[in-house]
Every structure is written in structure tokens, then in C-alpha cells.
């Protein structure tokens, strides 16, 4: 028997077995009772059998020319008694949402039925079940610099700064479990890179290989297939996610939605992909990766499936495709499926120089670009498991899926839309060219930290703010110049050797050694205020609401017995003052608005001026400052948060809240009590201003 005869006999055996299973489920389709709503598990099995029994082999070009090549329609109708026989369907099933899947003898009959169904008022939409393919390779020729890549297989991860962001996650104890579903061909369960990362017990297949040695094969494990049918695509995609999240708690859920008939021939349909999306979302995954697609027409069914996943909190990341075309044509009639769907993050491909890969699709629907040229990852071939290079938006997409998983760790409350915004707004801009979207996706901007150096009570140098990358050496502190008689005595808190987050360091000072006093009493002429440097504790114009009182203004720097001898207001109708010799005072705003000066005169002959602005409305908070946004406590300990408002006279007050009360509670006064090990986030709010303090309990 020839090889073709064997395949023909095997194929007929598969189809006969599949059709028998379908007939058991749907013995008659002449009435609505013959197309019952199936539960999700039952529908999955019936769908696989339906697709397998009416399988069509086609190239991407043939499928693009004929969207009806599967001879199958997807119908959403409010008619609970839709009769498939009335429209000439030979098979029919209905999912738990009441969407019908009608099979016809030919593409011509499917087209004719679509026209009739569109005329029915109960029809919400009707569309062909379009064939979709794995996203084929782009140019495989060696680009300039390929020799350097051979020596460094991690350039793509370094370029996106995965190692540094992973370090940040580990050091801040944010390594919580996340799951990325890979909707693709199968994945090798035996590959060393993936063995401990795959959720094998939850793996699912919605795709049928009609030429397999088994009657109906739904294997999601490529290593279980006949060597001639193994496909490296899904394994390569999964390997990229595994490498980008190395050392982190990220698992991969294999969901097989396209066949494994060779790298460029694996195909599925909008139906298998849609059901794969629904299944992954039902498993509670954090991210869905789809390095699949093809040119076609819009699919309302697929849009519904994506919208359902996003509504459940799933980030959906898809490839832009490798046809060198616009993802959505100017007329909107031709689109790349599923890249045109708004709720997806659409990823294009660039090389190590961040230059657009010539075959990568482009346009207004493109969100970001990522490494997709000569990417080293896991593969399975006829020879078994191994490693190899591959190219295309299929390789760019899992980089962004891995990025989304890590952002889910650091932003656990963020919605899919907020994760997408984080990726796009923090991308490195590569210009306004439609081939780059918002730019190159990477963690660089998210890893920038601000270091502020404050002069403190006796410092004379200007406050300075510097920017530094997380994990890099702490930036050099400014020159430390203090008041006469004071010398620099270090920083509070002490500077860490690496930048661990936004931080404010305040200079400490100590008195310089005093010169020896003269033993001749005749040289003593009276009190000496050599070290006294009286000044206002607030250097800006202080806003006050009418009738507001404040005790927060005072004279500081009084030394050597110096004291305040008088207090005076320049306009008592606007503000009055009652002060003490130690520099403290109570200022009360009057009924008149405008500016006023409060002057304090000292025994050393100095005058200290406070400038006030009396206003009608609320004194709003413009900024909240705190010495450190990260607090480390041991279980059972307490700590008082001491935020400072700008201006100090804000009338909006402070509120403290904790969302992780089992770990840390906070009182109305800002007192923390560590309850149990873990990480909590305390929100400090005043008016419309909010800051968050991370509390790590060990």
C-alpha cells in the first residue's frame, strides 16, 4: 500500500469515528431540540469532533482568498428554536452561550445560508469560521551582527531589562504566582527548559490532527506526536516566556488551538481559537499569548471571546503578523485576525538594533514592538528536543506576554487596560512611524528611581534631586556645606550601596570644635551669639484660610542663649500673632484676605519674617512627603508614619488606609502594627493627593 493510500485510509477511519461520535450527540437536527445548549466540557468535545469530521486542508493563501473554505458558519441568534435544517446545515452544535455552529457541504452553501440568516431579525451576527494559521517566519537570513548573537543568546532579555526587573521583584518580595496561557500548537512536555513550568494537568486541545496514527488525537504534548508531525512553534514561544521569567513564579498553560502539521502549515479556525480563549480565561490565567493569526474579515464571535477574557481580568497579547501589511486596511474591510481587536495588546517585531523587521505588520492598531529577529529558544523537531533560532512577530509577542506577567506581580490590582497602559506609556519611543506603535517595550522607565538630598536644619547647600536606575550605584551626593560653626555628620537615613527605590536623604550636622575661651575677664564684653542662626522653619509663602489658626510656624536655629524678644504682624486685620521667646507661636488669620508679614526679632539683633497669604477657600494639599516609601518591620512591631504636607497649613488633613489588614493595620494617626509576614501597601491621602508606602513584614 502506498503512503498516500495509507493516509487516505487513515483519514477516512478518523472521519468515520468522529462522525459516529457526533451522531450520538446530535442524532437529528430538524428541530431546536436537536441542537441543545451544551456545557463547556461537552461542547469542547463536540466541537473537536465536528471540526475533525469536516477538516479542510488549505494554504494560508487559499484561506485568505476564500473565507468560507471551512463551509462552517458561526451564528449568534436570539431565536432559541433556530432550525439548522431550514438553512441546509448537515451538522450543528450550540455552546453554553447559545451560539450556533453550523456545518455545510460546501463553501457555496455556507455563503447562501449566511445571506438567509442575515435577513432574520433574531440574528445578531453570522460569519464564516475563518481559518487561522501559526504566524509564519519572517526573513531567516543572518542580519548584520549575527555573529555577536551567537555568543549571547540573552541579548533580547537584556535589551528589555528582564534581569534587572526580576531582581527588583525578588528583593521586594513580589514573586507571586502568575500563569500565562499559550494558545498555539502543542508544547513539548519533555523539554528541559519547560519541564517544571507547564501546567500539564490543565493542558487542553481544541485542535484535531486528522493524519495522526490515533483515531482522534488531541495531544497538547508535541513530544507524544509522530516525529513527522511535530511542530516547533508552540514550544519556541513557550520557551521565550520561560527564559524571560527565569527564577520567577510564572507557569505556562498549554492550550492547543492549531494543528501540528509542520511549522508553516499548522492551522485552526476562529472557533477553535475562541474556545481556547474562553477555556484559558475560565482557568483564571493572568495573561493569554496568541502568536497566531491571518488576514481575513472581522469576527464578532472572536471579539466576544476576547472581551469576555478581558472582563475577567486577563491580559490578551497577540502578534501583529508577518505579511508586511497593515493590521487593518484603510477601509476597515480587511484585517489581520486577531490583531485588529481593540482589547488586545498587538506586538510587532524589531531586531537587536530596534529596527523594524521587514515582514512585520504595521499600522494604527500596532501597540508596541519587541525583539523578534533571531531569537534563541526551545524547539522540538523530528530529532527531539533542542534549541534554535526563529524569527517573526510570533517571537516578539511572548516577550510582551512575559512583561505583562511581571507587571501583574508589581501591580496586583491593575486591570488589563492599566497593564496595557503601563507597557505603552513606558515604552521607548522610536518615532511616529506606524511600524513601531508606542515604541520598544521594556522596563527601563519603570526602573528609574529618584534620589533627593536635603540640606537639613544647618545645611547651606541647595536641595538636589538625581535620577538613577534600580540596582545601579547610588548617585554621588552634593557638596555638603553647612552654617558657620557646624560640620557635616552623615545622612539620615544612611545611604544604601544600591538604589532600592525612591529615597530622601537628609544631612546631619554637629557643632564644630569651639576655640579656647580667653582667661582675661576684661575681654568678656557681654553675651555672644556666635552660633545662633535664627531663621523661619518654612521658606515659602504660607497660605492660610480665613480664621484658621496654626502652630506650625516657628523660629529655628536659636543658639548660645539667643531668643525671640518680640513678635509683630504687619496687618492685624489679616492676621495676629502670639509668640514665645523659644521661637514657637500661634498665628490666627483674620477676616481680611491678602498678604501679611509676621516678624520675630531676636536678642542677637536678627529679624525672622514669615510671609502669609490669607485666602477665602480651603488650603489644599499640593504634596505629601515621607522620608521613605518602604518600611521593613518584624511581626508584632509598631511604627509611626510621619508624612509632611506641603503646605504645612493644609486644612485637608491626613487619612491612612491598609488593604492588607491581616498583614499590617494602621490607626487614624498613622501608627502601623505588623500582624503577619507578607507585604502590605498603606495609602496616605490628603485631599486629592495620595502616596503609597510599602510595608514588608518579616
Helix, strand, coil percentages for the chain (3-state, nearest 5): 25, 30, 45
Cis ω for the linkage preceding 338 (within 30 of 0): yes
Residues sharing a CB contact under 8 Å with residue 224, sequence separation 6 or more, in sequence order = 189
Among 600, 469, 474, smallest CA distance to 538 is for: 600
Mapping DSSP to helix (H, G, I), strand (E, B) and coil, where does residue 593 land? coil
By the 8 A CB rule, do 181 and 277 touch?
A: no
Instruction: Indicate which residue of 219, 299, 394, 401 is catalytic.
Output: 394
Query: Following CA atoms 451, 643, 622, 478 in sequence, which dihedral angle do they give, to the nearest 10 degrees?
Result: -20
Q: Is 394 a catalytic residue?
A: yes
Three-state DSSP class for 151?
A: helix
DSSP result, 641-655: ---EEESTT-SS--E
C-alpha cell at 541: 509663602
What 8-state DSSP symbol labels residue 382?
Answer: T
Distance CA 520, CA 474 (A): 52
Q: Residue 125: which H helix or E strand, with range?
A: strand 123-128
| Buried b or exposed e, range 341-376, using 16+ CB within 10 angstroms | bebbbbbbbbbbebebbebbbbbebbbbbbbbbbbb
Distance separating alpha carbons of residues 654 and 651, to the nearest angstrom: 9
Q: What is the CA radius of gyration of the chain?
A: 35
3-state secondary structure 211-224: CCCCCCCCCCEHHH
Nearest residue to 351 (alpha-carbon basis) of 148, 165, 134: 148
The CA distance from 550 to 585, in Å, is 8
Kindly give the residue spans of alpha helices, DSSP state H, lying in 203-294: 233-244, 270-282
For 662, other C-beta atoms within 10 Å of its C-beta total 10
Cell of 590: 483674620
Q: How many CA atoms lie within 13 A of 450 on its CB side?
A: 9
**Cβ-contact 345, 400 below 8 angstroms:** yes
Distance between CA atoms of 477 and 424, rounded to whole angstroms? 33
Catalytic position from the list 233, 356, 435, 458: 233
Between CA 695 and CA 698 the distance in angstroms is 10
Give the other-Cβ count within 10 Å of 306's Cβ.
26
The number of residues making up the chain comes to 698
Is 191 in the active site?
A: no
Q: What is the dihedral of CA 568, 573, 579, 585, to 10 degrees?
A: -120
Q: Report the distance separating Cα 370 and Cα 437, nearest Å.
A: 11
Containing 369, the helix (H) or strand (E) segment is strand 368-371
What is the Cα 690 distance to its own chain's centre?
21
Say whether 33 is catalytic.
Answer: no
Where residue 221 falls (left for φ over 0; alpha for ψ -120 to 50; beta otherwise) is beta
Q: Of 91, 156, 184, 231, which residue is the catalytic one?
A: 184
> In the sheet that 594-602 helps form, which strands lie side by side, from edge to edge?
542-545, 607-615, 594-602, 564-569
**Is 109 in contact with 70 (CB distance < 8 Å)?**
no
Cell numbers linked to 159 = 535589551
Rounded Cα–Cα distance for residues 263 and 136 (Å): 7
Catalytic positions, please?
184, 233, 394
Amino acid at each position: 500500500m502506498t503512503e498516500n493510500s495509507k493516509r487516505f485510509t487513515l483519514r477516512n477511519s478518523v472521519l468515520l469515528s468522529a462522525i459516529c461520535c457526533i451522531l450520538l450527540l446530535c442524532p437529528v437536527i430538524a428541530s431546536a431540540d436537536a441542537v441543545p445548549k451544551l456545557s463547556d466540557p461537552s461542547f469542547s468535545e463536540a466541537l473537536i469532533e465536528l471540526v475533525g469530521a469536516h477538516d479542510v486542508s488549505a494554504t494560508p493563501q487559499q484561506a485568505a482568498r476564500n473565507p468560507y473554505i471551512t463551509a462552517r458558519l458561526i451564528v449568534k441568534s436570539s431565536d432559541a428554536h433556530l432550525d439548522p435544517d431550514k438553512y441546509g446545515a448537515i451538522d450543528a452544535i450550540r455552546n453554553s452561550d447559545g451560539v450556533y455552529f453550523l456545518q455545510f457541504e460546501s463553501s457555496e452553501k455556507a455563503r447562501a445560508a449566511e445571506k438567509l440568516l442575515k435577513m432574520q431579525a433574531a440574528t445578531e451576527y453570522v460569519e464564516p469560521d475563518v481559518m487561522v494559521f501559526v504566524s509564519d517566519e519572517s526573513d531567516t537570513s543572518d542580519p548584520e551582527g549575527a555573529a555577536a548573537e551567537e555568543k549571547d543568546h540573552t541579548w533580547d532579555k537584556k535589551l528589555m531589562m528582564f534581569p534587572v526587573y526580576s531582581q527588583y521583584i525578588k528583593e521586594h518580595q513580589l514573586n507571586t504566582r502568575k500563569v500565562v496561557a499559550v494558545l498555539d500548537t502543542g508544547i513539548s512536555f519533555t523539554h528541559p527548559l519547560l519541564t517544571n513550568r507547564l501546567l500539564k494537568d490543565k493542558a487542553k486541545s481544541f485542535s484535531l490532527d486528522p493524519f495522526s496514527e490515533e483515531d482522534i488525537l488531541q495531544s497538547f504534548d508535541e513530544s507524544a506526536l509522530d516525529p513527522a508531525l511535530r511542530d516547533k512553534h508552540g514550544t519556541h514561544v513557550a520557551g521565550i516566556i520561560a527564559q524571560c521569567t527565569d527564577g520567577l513564579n510564572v507557569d505556562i498553560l498549554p492550550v492547543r488551538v492549531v494543528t501540528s502539521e509542520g511549522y508553516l502549515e499548522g492551522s485552526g479556525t476562529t472557533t477553535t481559537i475562541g474556545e481556547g480563549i474562553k477555556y484559558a480565561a475560565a482557568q483564571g490565567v493572568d495573561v493569554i499569548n496568541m502568536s497566531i493569526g491571518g488576514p481575513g474579515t472581522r469576527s464578532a464571535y472572536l471579539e466576544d471571546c476576547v472581551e469576555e477574557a478581558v472582563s475577567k481580568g486577563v491580559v490578551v497579547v497577540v502578534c501583529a503578523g508577518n505579511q508586511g501589511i497593515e493590521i487593518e486596511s484603510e477601509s476597515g474591510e480587511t484585517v489581520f485576525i486577531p490583531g485588529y481587536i481593540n482589547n488586545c495588546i498587538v506586538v510587532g517585531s524589531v531586531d537587536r538594533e530596534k529596527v523594524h523587521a521587514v515582514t512585520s505588520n504595521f499600522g494604527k492598531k500596532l501597540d508596541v514592538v519587541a525583539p523578534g529577529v533571531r531569537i534563541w529558544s526551545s524547539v522540538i523537531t523530528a530529532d527531539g528536543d533542542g534549541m534554535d533560532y526563529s524569527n517573526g512577530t510570533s517571537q516578539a509577542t511572548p516577550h510582551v506576554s512575559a512583561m505583562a506577567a511581571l507587571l501583574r506581580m508589581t501591580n496586583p490590582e491593575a486591570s488589563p487596560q492599566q497593564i496595557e497602559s503601563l507597557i505603552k506609556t513606558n515604552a521607548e519611543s522610536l518615532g511616529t512611524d506606524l511600524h513601531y506603535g508606542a515604541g520598544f517595550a521594556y522596563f527601563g522607565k519603570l526602573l528609574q528611581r529618584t534620589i533627593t538630598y536635603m540640606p537639613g536644619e544647618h545645611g547651606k547647600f541647595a536641595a538636589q534631586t538625581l535620577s538613577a536606575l534600580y540596582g545601579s550605584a547610588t548617585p554621588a551626593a552634593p557638596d555638603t556645606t553647612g552654617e558657620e560653626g557646624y560640620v557635616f555628620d552623615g545622612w539620615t537615613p544612611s545611604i544604601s550601596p544600591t538604589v532600592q527605590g525612591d529615597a530622601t536623604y537628609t544631612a546631619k550636622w554637629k557643632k564644630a570644635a569651639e576655640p579656647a575661651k580667653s582667661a582675661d575677664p576684661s575681654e568678656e564684653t557681654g553675651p555672644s551669639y556666635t552660633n545662633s542662626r535664627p531663621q523661619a522653619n518654612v521658606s515659602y509663602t504660607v497660605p492660610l484660610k480665613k480664621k484658621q489658626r496654626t502652630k506650625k510656624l516657628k523660629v529655628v536655629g536659636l543658639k548660645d542663649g539667643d531668643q525671640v524678644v518680640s513678635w509683630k504682624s504687619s496687618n492685624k486685620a489679616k492676621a495676629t500673632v502670639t509668640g514665645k521667646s523659644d521661637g514657637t507661636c500661634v498665628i490666627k488669620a483674620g477676616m481680611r484676605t491678602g498678604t501679611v508679614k509676621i516678624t520675630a526679632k531676636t536678642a542677637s539683633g536678627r529679624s525672622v519674617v514669615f510671609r502669609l497669604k490669607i485666602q477665602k477657600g480651603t488650603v489644599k494639599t499640593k504634596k505629601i512627603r515621607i522620608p521613605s516609601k518602604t518600611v521593613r518591620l518584624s511581626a508584632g512591631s509598631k511604627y509611626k508614619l510621619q508624612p509632611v504636607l506641603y503646605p504645612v497649613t493644609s486644612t485637608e488633613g491626613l487619612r491612612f488606609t491598609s488593604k492588607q489588614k491581616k498583614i499590617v493595620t494602621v490607626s487614624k494617626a498613622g501608627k502601623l502594627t505588623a500582624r503577619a509576614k507578607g507585604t502590605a501597601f498603606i495609602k496616605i491621602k490628603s485631599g486629592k493627593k495620595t502616596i503609597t508606602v510599602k510595608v514588608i513584614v518579616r
